[in-house]
Amino acid sequence: MTQTIDHDLLFKELLTTFFWDFLALFAPEILETAEQNSLTFLTQEVFNDLPGQTRRNVDIVAKLHFRGQETCFLVHVENQATSQADFAERMFLYFARLYEKYRLPIYPIALFSYRSPQRLEPETFSVAFPSKEILSFSFQTIQLNRLPWRDFLRQPNPVAAALMAKMNFSSEERPKVKLECLRMIVTLRLDSARIHLLSGFVDTYLRLNMAEQQVFEQELHRIQPQEEAQVLRIVTSWMEEGLQQGRQEGRQEEACKLILRFVQQRFPEQVSGFAPQIQALNLTQLDALSDRLFGFESAAELETWLRENPTEGNPT
């Protein structure tokens, strides 16, 4: 069963954790305007009276002080995971409701995170008569699928490291993009919790198939040994978490897939030979193998373990 991705939650965790980095990357003029010690996130706003909507949650509303002043302003960031024709109107309605409640200047930002379509999204909403424009509302747009990912490679920014996974690249570049995201993450020297958040974001949006995994592994071996080891630790942590989840949920098929995925990462040249033996293991054997797998330094150690733990159809 395909796991549903909670896009709003993933983006909210990313942007609230790295809000200053987000502003530095996409809205530096706001960063220069704000007092950096003044950031607070307001309780999630829920609007029940928007036309055609039963209930709408505003993604992120941050309150900041103007630099050197006592007065405040708001930054509203709305992540949009699907293309919708009436989105600009909804941004205006959010703006109106927030202004009505807080009576503060508001800087609205729309973050478009879907893969397609790539057509340019509007950044204004207006109401006009033939003889007069009544309303002209504008907001900043960040359309990830129109941003070339390579333009962000040399920007040591945690938000860039994560969002490159959602930017514009060809399908052939997927393994390369994933590796470069992880390389940037390990060079930022963050604590383990933030590394986990960023790398989990990247892995969610760049799940590689077996062929892509092999390209990823080849690219990984070409980078500096120290960086390779750090990236491999991240990849290993994903495998450990996935195997633990598979065991808890009792899914033999899922546990088998995750073990094969790890073997593909560590021993790509031997995976085809190991696959039939691993696929024949029962859940108890898969559980035992997952506990030992991360300590194997060579394919020979895995081969020995499989020989010492035969399946019913493959006795020694």
101 in any annotated domain: yes
More confident residue, 101 or 242: 101
pLDDT at 88: 96
> For 115-171, what is the HEC assignment?
CCCCCCCCCEEEEEECCEEEEEEECEEEEHHHCEHHHHCCCCCHHHHHHHHHCECCH
Is the model's pLDDT at 54 over the cut of 70? no
Q: Report, as an integer, the average pLDDT of 5-16.
A: 90
> What CATH number does residue 142 fall under?
3.40.1350
174 in any annotated domain: no
Question: DSSP for 154-219?
Answer: T---HHHHHHGGGSB--GGGHHHHHHHHHHHHHHT---HHHHHHHHHHHHHH----HHHHHHHHHH
314 in any annotated domain: no
Give the pairing of strands 60-65 and 124-129: unpaired
C-alpha to C-alpha distance for 164 and 35, rounded to whole angstroms: 28
Q: Report, as an integer, the average pLDDT of 10-28.
A: 96
More confident residue, 255 or 192: 192
140 in any annotated domain: yes
* 295, containing H or E segment: none
When pLDDT is cut at 50, 70 and 90, the band that residue 75 belongs to is very high
As for how many domains the chain has, the answer is 1
Q: Report, as an integer, the average pLDDT of 148-177.
A: 96
Beta bridge partners of 46: 57
Task: Name, of 65-69, 107-111, 234-238, 253-257, the range with top average pLDDT.
Answer: 107-111
51 in any annotated domain: yes
pLDDT at 53: 54
Domain that holds residue 99: 7-116+135-146
Is the model's pLDDT at 258 over the cut of 80? no
What single DSSP character describes residue 27? -
Is 153 exposed, middle or buried (CB count within 10 Å of its CB: 0-12, 13-18, 19+)?
middle
Is the model's pLDDT at 239 over the cut of 60? no
C-alpha to C-alpha distance for 252 and 167, rounded to whole angstroms: 35
Are the CB atoms for 121 and 112 separated by under 8 Å?
A: yes
Q: In the chain, what percentage of residues exceed pLDDT 70?
A: 88
151 in any annotated domain: no
Indicate the average pLDDT of the chain: 86
pLDDT at 5: 79
14 in any annotated domain: yes
76 in any annotated domain: yes
More confident residue, 245 or 58: 58
Is 66 exposed, middle or buried (CB count within 10 Å of its CB: 0-12, 13-18, 19+)?
middle
Is the model's pLDDT at 316 over the cut of 50? no
Give the pairing of strands 60-65 and 72-80: antiparallel
Task: Name, of 54-58, 137-141, 264-268, the range with top average pLDDT.
Answer: 137-141
pLDDT at 297: 77
Q: In the chain, what percentage of residues exceed pLDDT 90?
A: 54
Is the model's pLDDT at 83 over the cut of 80? yes
Q: Report, as an integer, the average pLDDT of 208-230.
A: 86
pLDDT at 51: 56
Question: Which residue pairs, CB below 8 angstroms and at least 24 apart, start in 221-226?
Answer: 223/179, 223/183
pLDDT at 1: 41
Question: Which residue pairs, CB below 8 angstroms and at least 24 apart, start in 43-47?
Answer: 45/97, 45/98, 45/101, 47/93, 47/94, 47/97
